[in-house]
Amino acid sequence: MKRIKIAAPVKRNSTRRDKIHQVLTEKRSFLSSQEIHKVLIRQGISIGIATVYRQLESLVQQGRADTIISPKGERLYSNCSQAETHHHHIICRICGAAEELDIPEVEKLSKIFAQHHKYTDVSHSLELFGVCFSCASIQSSSIKSKRKPKLS
Amino acid sequence: MKRIKIAAPVKRNSTRRDKIHQVLTEKRSFLSSQEIHKVLIRQGISIGIATVYRQLESLVQQGRADTIISPKGERLYSNCSQAETHHHHIICRICGAAEELDIPEVEKLSKIFAQHHKYTDVSHSLELFGVCFSCASIQSSSIKSKRKPKLS
DNA sequence: TTACTTGCAAACGGTTTGCATCGAG
DNA sequence: CTCGATGCAAACCGTTTGCAAGTAA
């Protein structure tokens, strides 16, 4: 039962990874792997879905992308502009647009509750979901049934 | 394009639903549908996985169960003792044990950030994940590799 | 009897993996 | 040349659905 140490593979440059990252930075919203794949295909870039999954994982590990799990259980990715610090998001249910939030109070609250319940090694997940201003405008001036929310 | 109104079906009593609810109240933790199914089978109760999914959904709608999505994207359920009010949980990563938390500050913060970013119709998800006291005790006194976390 | 509940198996949708091939260094 | 990156298809895994049979009221 010996521990075998496996060196992390050296990442080479990858055109695909750059393309994926580009999609994330252009669209300022949380996108699923599948959506990113569709965007790239539409742009005429030949890429397999497996590569999208693999490179998104790689971007997250490099701190170049954020990932959350949607209320539906789908994994969503977005460009990360604050690689260093833990932060949260407010995400539009209709269009997926996301903005980064700094909510330092949550870190404090998390620690207080952890102590109180004798929990250690505590992390937390917090995301806000709502309807952004522009989607709210469109919604109020058009037939509602035509606008399907991306996220439940 | 007429809206057809479908009356919600009248729920009859269901032995299965009660059994599922019983598992949730006995185990004070968040369990997946699959885990609940296994528990019932182990108890000698014949039940199909589809019924477990359907009745869990029904329990959630009745406010008798809470549901969250784990960091892995799996849907988890637990007994809900505060049907009326929105609340959060602190959940043990190792054993799944969960305790209900009242964090009224989060509701306020949520509203403030929503206003600031001009978002409407805002909801939020917040769960704390950590290692509970008893799991931490066991962990420090045994071989770590033997204890696999339920939740990542 | 009516119509909700159940179990089974098949279908689904997102994600991961095995493998042969490509290509960066 | 080496070994990571890629595409494809198959495998996986949790979840949902269609349907026929069971059962509460």
Q: Where in chain A is the domain with CATH 3.30.1490.190?
A: 86-146
Integer Cα distance of B123 and A149 in angstroms: 14
**Residue A152 CB lies within 7 Å of the nucleic strand C:** no
Spatial contact of B76 and B67, defined as CB atoms under 8 Å apart? yes
Integer Cα distance of B45 and B52 in angstroms: 12
Mark yes or no for CB contact B129/A118 under 8 Å.
Answer: no
Q: How far apart are the first and last CA of chain B?
A: 46
Integer Cα distance of A141 and B111 in angstroms: 24
The pLDDT value recorded for residue B9 is 79
Q: What is the pLDDT of residues B55-72, one digit of tens each?
A: 999 999 999 999 999 989
Spell out the per-residue pLDDT of chain A, length 152, in tens. Answer: 545 455 677 887 778 999 999 999 999 999 999 999 999 999 999 999 999 999 999 999 999 999 999 989 999 999 988 766 889 999 998 888 999 999 999 999 999 999 999 999 999 999 999 999 999 998 777 655 556 677 75
Architecture of domain B86-146: 2-Layer Sandwich (3.30)
Q: How far apart are the first and last CA of chain A?
A: 46
SS3 state of residue B85: coil
Q: Where in chain B is the domain with CATH 1.10.10.10?
A: 1-84
Integer Cα distance of B106 and B125 in angstroms: 10
Spatial contact of A121 and A86, defined as CB atoms under 8 Å apart? no
Mark yes or no for CB contact B123/A103 under 8 Å.
Answer: no
Structure tokens at B11: 């729920």
**Residue B74 CB lies within 7 Å of the nucleic strand D:** yes
Which nucleotides in chain C lie closer than 7 A to a protein CB?
A: 3-10, 14-18, 24-25
Phi and psi angles of residue A14, each rounded to the nearest 5 degrees, phi first:
-145, 120
**Residue B46 CB lies within 7 Å of the nucleic strand C:** yes
Residues counted in chain B = 152
What percentage of chain B has pLDDT greater than the value 70?
89
Nearest-nucleotide field for B69 (CA, C1'): D14
**Residue B32 CB lies within 7 Å of the nucleic strand D:** yes
Q: What is the pLDDT of residues B121-149, one digit of tens each?
A: 999 999 999 999 999 998 777 655 556 67
The pLDDT value recorded for residue B44 is 95
Integer Cα distance of A94 and A112 in angstroms: 34
The pLDDT value recorded for residue A77 is 97
In chain A, how many H helices and how many E strands?
5, 6
The model's pTM is 0.87
A129 → closest Cβ in B106, B118, B122 = B122
The pLDDT value recorded for residue A7 is 66
Please determine, for residue B34, whether its predicted confidence score (pLDDT) is greater than 80.
yes
Integer Cα distance of A55 and A49 in angstroms: 10
What confidence category does residue B49 fall into, taking pLDDT thresholds of 50, 70 and 90? very high
A109 → closest Cβ in B103, B119, B124 = B103
Alpha helices in A13-120 (DSSP H): 15-26, 33-42, 49-61, 104-116
The pLDDT value recorded for residue A85 is 82
- Nearest Cα neighbor of A69 from B102, B129, B51 is B129
The pLDDT value recorded for residue A148 is 64
Instruction: Please give, rounded to a whole number of angstroms, the shortest distance from the CA of A16 to a CA of chain B.
Output: 25
Class of the B1-84 domain? mainly alpha
**Across A143-147, B8-12, B55-59, B86-90, least confident range:** A143-147
Q: What is the pLDDT of residues B13-29, one digit of tens each?
A: 888 999 999 999 999 99
Per the rule left: phi > 0, alpha: psi between -120 and 50, beta: everything else, B3 is: beta
SS3 state of residue B148: coil
